[in-house]
């Protein structure tokens, strides 16, 4: 009788399962550690004349920028964005970044397909979302970032560099006014929308956590390094 060696597939699957379990258990811990490690401080003279808000959703943060002269100038070369900023009642600009398939799904998170979620976790192209809002009610008590002129200029430059084209995608939005643009960089578990938020904050020259993949990473970093704002 001929004896065949055991196939290694079972061992490989077991190792894969163990690896996934370790990742699931370690990821939240790493997200805390990444938020605790400070990075990005650039000292600037001058008063912090610009206030950027951080608005939290169920799984990520967006920026809310004042529609002042500096903000308008930063996006003036985007024709559709310029029209958006000139809408009646527009007082602030909302900007966010995320995975193409996941972020552009209109509806609730229950409408997101398993394919979109898997693609976002393993690697997807990215988009940047823009919308305008009116007055932000003070009772919302949003987290804020105070920036000097130089810091805000660096922040706007970093935001503008995220765009990968000047034409919005032909894609329905979450509101009647928002739009999606193709963006630079790829989205994955290690560079999430919240990681991008941290990158933009540090690009401005503000102290923030080095790696902020989850919403509580942003909250913790803000509490540690920007809570006085």
The SS3 call for residue 54 is strand
pLDDT at position 172 is 82
- At residue 72 the predicted structure's pLDDT band, cuts being 50, 70 and 90, is very high
Integer CA distances (angstroms), 67 to 22, 48, 56, 76, 214, in order: 45, 16, 20, 12, 28
Taking the CA atoms of 117, 120, 126 and 128 in sequence, report the sign of the dihedral they define.
Answer: positive
Distance CA 130, CA 21 (A): 36
- At residue 4 the predicted structure's pLDDT band, cuts being 50, 70 and 90, is very low
- At residue 171 the predicted structure's pLDDT band, cuts being 50, 70 and 90, is confident
The Cα diameter of the chain in Å comes to: 86
- Scanning the structure block, which residue is given the tokens 């032909």? 170
Averaged over 140-155, what is the pLDDT? 95
Distance CA 153, CA 157 (A): 6
3 pLDDT more than 60: no
Question: What is the secondary structure of 75-100 as a DSSP string?
Answer: TTTSHHHHHHHTSTT--EEEEEEEEH
Residue percentage of the chain with pLDDT more than 70: 83
155 pLDDT more than 60: yes
- At residue 104 the predicted structure's pLDDT band, cuts being 50, 70 and 90, is confident
Averaged over 116-138, what is the pLDDT? 85
Q: What's the CA angle centered on 83, arms 80 and 89, to 5 degrees?
A: 135
Distance CA 38, CA 53 (A): 20
Quote the mean pLDDT of the chain.
87
User: pLDDT higher for 175 or 197?
Assistant: 197
Distance CA 9, CA 14 (A): 9
Q: b/e map of 113-132 (b: 16 or more CB within 10 Å)?
A: eeebbebbeeebebbbbbbb
User: pLDDT higher for 110 or 113?
Assistant: 113
Q: Please tell me the pTM assigned to this model.
A: 0.86
pLDDT at position 90 is 95
Averaged over 75-88, what is the pLDDT? 95
Averaged over 17-24, what is the pLDDT? 60
19 is written with which tokens?
């690896």
- At residue 110 the predicted structure's pLDDT band, cuts being 50, 70 and 90, is low
Q: b/e map of 6-33 (b: 16 or more CB within 10 Å)?
A: eeeeeeeeeeeeeeeeeeeeeeeeebee
């Amino acid at each position: 009788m001929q004896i065949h060696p055991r196939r290694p597939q079972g061992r490989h699957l077991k190792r894969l399962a163990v690896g996934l379990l370790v990742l699931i258990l370690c990821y939240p811990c790493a997200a805390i550690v990444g938020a605790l490690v400070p990075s990005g401080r650039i000292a600037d003279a001058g008063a912090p004349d610009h206030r950027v808000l951080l608005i939290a959703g169920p799984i990520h943060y967006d920026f809310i920028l004042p529609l002042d002269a500096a903000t308008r100038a930063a996006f003036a070369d985007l024709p559709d964005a310029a029209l958006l900023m000139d809408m009646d009642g527009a007082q602030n600009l909302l900007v966010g970044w995320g995975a193409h398939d996941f972020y552009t799904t209109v509806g609730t998170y229950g409408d997101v397909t398993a394919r979109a979620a898997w693609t976002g976790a393993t690697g997807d192209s990215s988009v940047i979302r823009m919308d305008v809002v009116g007055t932000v009610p003070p009772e919302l008590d949003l987290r804020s970032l105070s920036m000097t002129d130089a810091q805000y200029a660096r922040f706007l430059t970093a935001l503008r560099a995220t765009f990968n084209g000047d034409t919005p995608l032909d894609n329905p939005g979450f509101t009647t006014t928002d739009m999606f643009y193709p963006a630079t960089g790829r989205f994955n578990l290690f560079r999430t929308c919240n990681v991008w938020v941290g990158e933009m904050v540090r690009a401005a020259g503000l102290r923030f956590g080095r790696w902020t993949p989850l919403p509580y990473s942003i909250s913790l970093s803000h509490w540690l390094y920007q809570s006085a704002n």
